[in-house]
């Protein structure tokens, strides 16, 4: 009873729609934005488009499968109804028990039908989410391609540039944080828009740390110069 009550209460929340997909913010800043070069951003877009294309194809196959199951259920339900009509005027022994059994079978068919209709609804929602994400990656790819033409994934210069930028960022972050903070966390923060306070604070801290390290290095250089200076006779 309590379960039914809460189900009734939450029905009013159905009017509020929260998408099951990633937000465009996540896709832009954390999935594509974290890539270090324009080429790797485009490569990532193509990967994501491929994944969602496969998902959409799977959804379509599953939808056709569920529709066939639904059609078979309707056929079985019609057979049960005809049997019920035949037994309703029958004088056959145990006809009443058969009628009870057929009514149970009919209710089972109805529940299975509801389950399939709910599955079809969920497939529609998944299709909508995947389509929206696919459109986002496609438009992002086209916008990036206007800045720089796509290069082959195994293009030597593109790969050298990608790994240079990626490893340089990781190296610098490890040096600046002295491994005290997870570099993945720092990379995620840096990928945020410039007006997000945590990014501004993090960049200020990294800049201060960098200036401190540079000052320490300059001290060492100055000390070495003094030690290497020839002594006056």
In a shared domain, residues 159 and 139: no
CB atoms within 10 A of CB 131: 15
In a shared domain, residues 36 and 69: yes
Instruction: For the chain, give the mean pLDDT.
Output: 88
Which of the residue ranges 16-25, 52-61, 128-137, 176-185 would you say has the lowest mean pLDDT?
A: 176-185
Is 196 domain-assigned?
Answer: yes
Global pTM reads: 0.77
H or E stretch covering 114:
helix 95-147
Residue 199 has pLDDT above 80, yes or no: yes
Phi/psi at 155 (5° precision): -60, 125
Over residues 58-109, the pLDDT tens digits come to 999 999 999 999 999 999 999 999 999 888 877 777 888 989 999 999 999 9
Residue with the bigger pLDDT between 2 and 100: it is 100
Is 14 domain-assigned?
Answer: no
In a shared domain, residues 143 and 160: no
Among 96, 115, 150, the domain-final residue is 150
To the nearest 5 percent, what fractions of the chain are helix, strand and coil? Answer: 80, 0, 20
Q: Are 67 and 178 in contact (CB under 8 A)?
A: no
- How many domains, in total, are found in the chain? 2
Residue 62: its pLDDT value, please? 98
In a shared domain, residues 60 and 128: yes
In a shared domain, residues 145 and 158: no
In a shared domain, residues 59 and 114: yes
Among 104, 129, 150, the domain-final residue is 150
pLDDT band (50, 70, 90) for residue 218: confident
| Cβ burial, residue 168 (10 Å; 0-12/13-18/19+) | exposed
Among 150, 174, 190, the domain-final residue is 150
**Residue indicated by tokens 């250089």:** 221
CB atoms within 10 A of CB 52: 21
Is 5 domain-assigned?
Answer: no
Encode 156-205 in three state secondary structure.
HHHHHHHHHHHHHHHHHHHHHHCCCCCHHHHHHHHCCCCCCHHHHHHHHH
Q: Which structural domain, as residue segments, surrounds residue 33?
A: 19-150
CB atoms within 10 A of CB 188: 16
117: Cβ contacts below 8 Å, ≥ 6 apart? 70
């Amino acid at each position: 009873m309590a379960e039914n009550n809460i189900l009734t209460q939450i029905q009013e929340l159905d009017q509020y729609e929260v998408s099951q997909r990633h937000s465009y913010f996540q896709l832009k800043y954390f999935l594509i934005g974290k890539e270090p070069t324009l080429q790797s951003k485009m490569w990532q877009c193509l990967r994501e488009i491929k994944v969602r294309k496969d998902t959409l194809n799977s959804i379509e196959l599953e939808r056709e499968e569920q529709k066939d199951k639904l059609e078979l259920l309707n056929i079985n339900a019609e057979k049960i109804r005809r049997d019920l009509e035949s037994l309703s005027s029958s004088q056959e022994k145990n006809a009443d028990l058969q009628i009870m059994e057929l009514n149970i079978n009919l209710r089972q068919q109805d529940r299975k039908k509801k389950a399939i209709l709910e599955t079809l609804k969920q497939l529609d929602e998944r299709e909508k989410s995947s389509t929206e994400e696919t459109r986002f990656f496609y438009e992002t790819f086209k916008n990036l391609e206007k800045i720089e033409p796509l290069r082959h994934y195994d293009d030597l210069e593109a790969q050298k540039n990608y790994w240079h930028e990626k490893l340089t960022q990781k190296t610098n972050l490890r040096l600046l944080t002295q491994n005290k903070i997870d570099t993945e966390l720092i990379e995620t923060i840096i990928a945020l828009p410039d007006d997000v306070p945590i990014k501004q604070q993090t960049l200020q801290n990294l800049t201060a740390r960098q200036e401190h390290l540079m000052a320490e290095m300059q001290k060492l250089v100055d000390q070495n110069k003094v030690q290497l200076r020839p002594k006056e006779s």
